[in-house]
Amino acid sequence: MCNVAAVFYNVWADTINLKLANYEKFNLAKGYLNFILANG
pTM of the model: 0.40
Tens-digit pLDDT profile for the chain (40 aa)? Answer: 578 888 888 887 777 666 655 677 778 889 888 898 888 6
Q: How many helices (H) and strands (E) does the chain have?
A: 2, 0
- What's the rounded Cα separation, in Å, for the pair 5 and 9? 6
For position 6, what pLDDT does the model report? 83
For position 22, what pLDDT does the model report? 63
For position 19, what pLDDT does the model report? 65
- Measured CA distances, 28 to 8, 16, 18, 23 (Å): 14, 11, 16, 9
